[in-house]
Structure 1
Amino acid sequence: MAWAVALLLLGTLALVAWGTLRGRPQDLPWTPLDLGQPIGAFTGRKLTALAGDAPACRGLLTQSGVRYTALPTRRDGQCGYDDAVRLIEGGARKVALSPAGIGIACPIAAALAMWEWDVVSPAARRHFDAQVVRVDHFGSYSCRRLYGRDAGAWSEHASANAIDIAGFRLSDGTRISVARDWQGSGTDRETKAAFLREVRDGACRLFATVLSPDYNAAHHDHFHFDQAERGAAGWRACR
């Protein structure tokens, strides 16, 4: 165990030195988060740390030009949320969520904005020479336990701290579906599958949890993103 801690410490020190030398504040653990900066080594942890600080999170959205409406606190027994927002199409975000009007925890909204800017849009240009205009989703808030069980831990959906992404629509009319296109077959499908894997992998740098069809059958048709707080260790799941 001691060697593992030592390796983690050495790795962190190396990242800090690298970030300092390259003039990349996003690679340093103590610098403020800026949604307009490229993704750095500590961006994901800083996004997760926004949980419980709604004013700071909303301030970052405003600073980066993301339009939103703050939602009132909601309580449904042991479920509910305090910091949810509804993203509004326009402003710095050129990609719409479909269906519109979804309420999501602010740290999810902040990570989604960066994911669209720094991961999804560049991937669409690279693979299709087109723009993403809509991201299809299966929702966020749902008062339920993990996998809909009757007992056990509550899902991050129970606090709107998660979103399930189903697919993408491009400016040239192309539609990409996680359910249909994850397993590529033929040139068109292979390109779509490569795009889906790239945006999945990019999400792993921004969200605490990213689950895809590679994880289990329950995720065969969507990506699950959440910002679960996992204490000081801060381990992250990317499958």
Structure 2
Amino acid sequence: MLRTRRILAFLVAAALFVPAATAQPVPAIPKPKPSAEGTGSATDNPEGNAPRARPGEADDPAAPDGTAAPAAAPAGPEAPPGNGPEPRPSDPAREEPTPGGGEPNGSSQAPAEGAGEPPAIDQAESDCRWRLKALGVAFEPLPAIDDGPDCRIPAPISVSELDAGLKLEPAATLSCPAAEALATWAKEVVVPAAREAFGTEPSEIVQASSYVCRTQNGEPGAKMSEHAAGNAVDILAIAVEGHGTIGLADPGAVVSDSAEGEAIAGFRARIRSQACAFFATVLGPGSDEAHATHLHLDIREREAGARICQ
């Protein structure tokens, strides 16, 4: 009986031991750790290779955070050889006008002929006007003057300034050669004489007569005056800055507001005597009664270039 109990107890113990020995606990499958880049597990890419790049991304560098850099914008059409727009052609160099190149006021065409309009001019007249411009003379072309067979100026001009800052008052109607002689005398004689005598500049030359259709001295039956051809001008006075208006007549004869003294006498004598280098006729106070109040200057042509300087 006792033996039977021991056998049963052994069998029970064996039955309990066998399941404990054979049943092994199944370990829990560890969860995959996040990848170093934080972009997914290895199971997302069975081959262990990086994901295939999309077309156009093969050369993209990796971004600093390990992700693929965004695709570059598609390149535009290839530029033709010689990048950049073609340069615009530069403006042609402006040429300075030269004598003989048309009107000195910049126009390449002579004014059309017609009533009240300046006439076409020849080469000699054109060259003369260019010289006036070079001297600094301010002038305007005028319509041709024809007051009869003895009173004509084919191409007259109105002169209002003989040099910058040196006015001719009132404006004088002259031929171009007479205007050139007057402007050259003013520039080379009057201006330096005023500087030497008064230490300042002349500002205005006052004229009493330019073109006038008349005979010499207005006498009936006399030769025609050079005034009738626009080749003469009568100078009455010269205004000098700081010294008033200096008359060219004998002291006290006509023009007032003149300072008296040796400076004025020397100034008058110099501008009169040196005028003979530019004019064919120079008459003034002391020559005759007709010229007692002014200086008469003209460019009359005489045989052998004879001049009258009185």
TM-score in terms of structure 2 length: 0.55
Mapped pair 1:222 → 2:294:
yes
Q: CA RMSD in A?
A: 2.1
Question: Where do 4+ consecutive residues of structure 1 move more than 3 Å?
Answer: none
Equivalent position SS for 1:179:
coil
Whether the aligned pair in 2 keeps the contact of 1:178 and 1:220 (CA below 8 Å) is: no
1:81-131 CA-to-partner distances (Å, cap 9, x unmatched) read 1132112438x43210112x3211111111111111110011001111111
Evaluate the alpha carbon distance shift between residue 175 and residue 236 of structure 1 in structure 2; reply closer, same or farther with a 3 A threshold: same
Evaluate the alpha carbon distance shift between residue 236 and residue 120 of structure 1 in structure 2; reply closer, same or farther with a 3 A threshold: same
Equivalent position SS for 1:150:
coil
Whether the aligned pair in 1 keeps the contact of 2:207 and 2:236 (CA below 8 Å) is: yes
Could you tell me the percent identity over the aligned residues? 36
Evaluate the alpha carbon distance shift between residue 149 and residue 62 of structure 1 in structure 2; reply closer, same or farther with a 3 A threshold: same
Question: Superposition pairs for residues 65-104 of structure 1, below 5 Å?
Answer: 65-77=136-148, 78-89=150-161, 92-99=163-170, 101-104=171-174
Greater RCO, CA 8 A, separation 6+: 1
**What one-letter code is carried by the residue in structure 2 that aligns with 1:203?**
A
Whether the aligned pair in 2 keeps the contact of 1:58 and 1:106 (CA below 8 Å) is: yes
Whether the aligned pair in 2 keeps the contact of 1:208 and 1:237 (CA below 8 Å) is: yes
Equivalent position SS for 1:141:
coil
Higher share in strand: 1
> Runs of 5+ in structure 1 lacking a partner?
1-51
Mapped pair 1:120 → 2:190:
yes
**What one-letter code is carried by the residue in structure 1 that aligns with 2:137?**
V
Whether the aligned pair in 1 keeps the contact of 2:173 and 2:210 (CA below 8 Å) is: yes
Mapped pair 1:111 → 2:181:
yes
Evaluate the alpha carbon distance shift between residue 146 and residue 156 of structure 1 in structure 2; reply closer, same or farther with a 3 A threshold: same
Structure 1 residue 182, shift from structure 2 partner: 8.3
Match of 1:62 in 2: 133
Q: Distance in 1 between matches of 2:159 and 2:176?
A: 10
Higher share in helix: 1
Counterpart pick for 1:149 among 211, 216, 219: 219
Evaluate the alpha carbon distance shift between residue 223 and residue 148 of structure 1 in structure 2; reply closer, same or farther with a 3 A threshold: same
Structure 1 residue 173, shift from structure 2 partner: 3.9
Q: Distance in 2 between matches of 1:133 and 1:203?
A: 19
Whether the aligned pair in 1 keeps the contact of 2:141 and 2:158 (CA below 8 Å) is: yes
Mapped pair 1:198 → 2:270:
yes
Q: Distance in 2 between matches of 1:182 and 1:195?
A: 16
Aligned residues: 182
Q: Distance in 2 between matches of 1:74 and 1:155?
A: 15
Equivalent position SS for 1:121:
helix
Structure 1 residue 180, shift from structure 2 partner: 4.5
Equivalent position SS for 2:261:
helix
Equivalent position SS for 1:201:
helix
Q: Distance in 2 between matches of 1:134 and 1:95?
A: 5
Mapped pair 1:137 → 2:213:
no
**What one-letter code is carried by the residue in structure 1 that aligns with 2:296?**
H
Equivalent position SS for 2:260:
helix
Whether the aligned pair in 1 keeps the contact of 2:145 and 2:156 (CA below 8 Å) is: no
Equivalent position SS for 2:224:
coil
> Runs of 5+ in structure 2 lacking a partner?
1-122, 254-258
Whether the aligned pair in 2 keeps the contact of 1:179 and 1:220 (CA below 8 Å) is: yes
Mapped pair 1:238 → 2:309:
yes
